[in-house]
Amino acid sequence: MSTGCLYQYLNCSILRAGQLQREDLWVRNGKIMNPEVLFFVEKVTADVKIDCKGLIISPGFIDVQINGGFGCDFSTDSDPEKALETVAKGLLSQGVTSFCPTVITCPSEYYHKVLPLIKKRDGSKKGAGILGIHVEGPFISKEKKGAHPEQLIKDFDGGFKDVLETYGDLSNVSLVTLAPEKSNAKEVIEEFCKRGIVVSVGHSMANLAQGEAAVTSGARFITHLFNAMLPFHHRDPHLVGLLTSEKLPHNRKVYYGMIADGIHTHPAALRIAHRVNPSGIVLVTDAIRAMGFPPGEYPFGEITIEIKGNQSLLKGSNTLAGSIATMDFCVRHFAKETSCGSVLALEAATLHPAQMLGIEDRKGTLDFGADADFIMLDDELNVQATYIAGECVYTKPPQSLSEQLMT
C-alpha cells in the first residue's frame, strides 16, 4: 500500500453503527477516513477506486481465546515465536486480524520463559496482530479443570505475590482467566485491573454471589460460558446468572465468551444467551493445534487430546478439550442457529471483543480514525479477502474448474 494514497472502496455494504450501510469506505495510511473531511476540508478525491462487487465489509475478526492451530500450540511448543508466526499467518484466511494467544495451565518455568516472548504487535501481511496474551490458569478450580493438568493448578493464598511468582513478567498479558471463589480473589482481581489486565471468571465452581463479587472487584468477562462451570440452577444460577444480575455496578458491563462450534454449546443454549444478553456475547474459537487436522492424537499442554470427527477430547474420555473450529465458521454457525442476523453475528466477533478489551477506539470497528483492519464477505458470511492497516493480506483463491462445476 502506498503511503498517503487514498483508497475508495465502492459498491459495498459497510458494518457501522449497528447496521449494514450502503456506502463507500475510505482508507489512507492504514486508517478509516471521514469522507466529509476529505471532500469539504481537504478537497481531495480517491487515488485508487476498488469495486467490491456488492460484498459486505466488516471489521476484522478478533479471537481472544485461541490455544494454537496449524500444528502449533502456545502452551507446549519449544519455539513459541515460530508457533506465533505460523498461527498468525494461518488466521488471515479465516478473517482474523487480531488475536490473544492463549497459554493454559503450565509449570511456572514455562510461563517465565514464554510470556516475555509473546509480545504485542501490529498485524501485517505476515500475520494477524497480537493483542496480548490470555493466560488461562493455573488459578482455577480442580473440579472444573477441563483439559488443564490438575497437578499444576494453584491457589493464591499469598495474594498477588503468588501470581507474580507463577507468571513472572506480566507486561505482555492482556487477559487472565481465574476462579473467583479462591481465597484472596478480591485482592488479586483488583491488582490485575490496576495493571490494565482484563480479568475473566471461568473454570470455576463459583456461585452467583461469588461471581458478582468478582465483577464488583473489576472482572468483566466470563470464559466460555456454560463450559467448565457449574450449570444454571433455578435457586442459584451460578456464573451464568451474571448475564441478568441486578447486583452489579451500574457502570460495569459483563461480556461472555461463547464457543459456537456446534459441539461445546447446544444451539438452544446459544439462543438463550443471545436473547438474554445479545450485546455481551464474544465469539471465541478456543482452537487447539489440531484445528484443520485429520483425526488422531495430539499433545496439548501437559496432556494428550484425541480428534474424533469434529470433536477434540481428552484421550480416553468424553471430556472436551478445546475446539477445532475456525472463527468464520463460528460466526456463520451463530448467525444460523440464533437467527440473530449478520450484524450481531459479525459484531460478536469484532466490536464486542474489542469493547471487552477496551480497544474499541481502534479495533473492532469501522469508525473514522480506527485502524483499517477489515474483511470482505459474501452474503453467507464467507471470507473473500482480509485487510490489515489497509493492505490486502489475504484473498480467497479462485475456484478450481471441478469446484465451479459442482456449484
Q: Which residues are catalytic?
A: 286
Gyration radius of the chain over CA positions = 21
Of the candidates 101, 18, 96, the one whose C-alpha atom is nearest the C-alpha of residue 61 is 96
- The β-bridge partners of 383 are 377
The single-letter DSSP state of residue 385 is E
- Name the amino acid, one letter, at 211: G
Residue 45's Cβ-side half-sphere holds a number of Cα atoms within 13 Å equal to: 1
DSSP string of 1-13, one letter each residue: --TT-EEEEES-E
Find the angle CA(383)-CA(257)-CA(324) to the nearest 5 degrees.
Answer: 55
CB atoms within 10 A of CB 70: 17
Distance, CA of 345 to CA of 281 (rounded, Å): 9
Residues of 77-99 as b/e, b for ≥16 C-beta within 10 angstroms? beebeebbebbbbbbbbbbbbbb
Give the length of the chain.
407
The answer to whether the CB of 5 falls within 8 A of the CB of 28 is yes
Q: Is 302 helix (H, G, I), strand (E, B) or coil?
A: coil
Residues of 125-143 as b/e, b for ≥16 C-beta within 10 angstroms? eebbbbbbbbbbbbbbbee
Q: Which long-range contacts (CB under 8 A, 24 or more apart) does 81-85 make?
A: 81/117, 81/118, 84/118, 84/127, 84/130, 85/126, 85/127
With cell 442459584, the residue in question is 236
CB atoms within 10 A of CB 377: 23
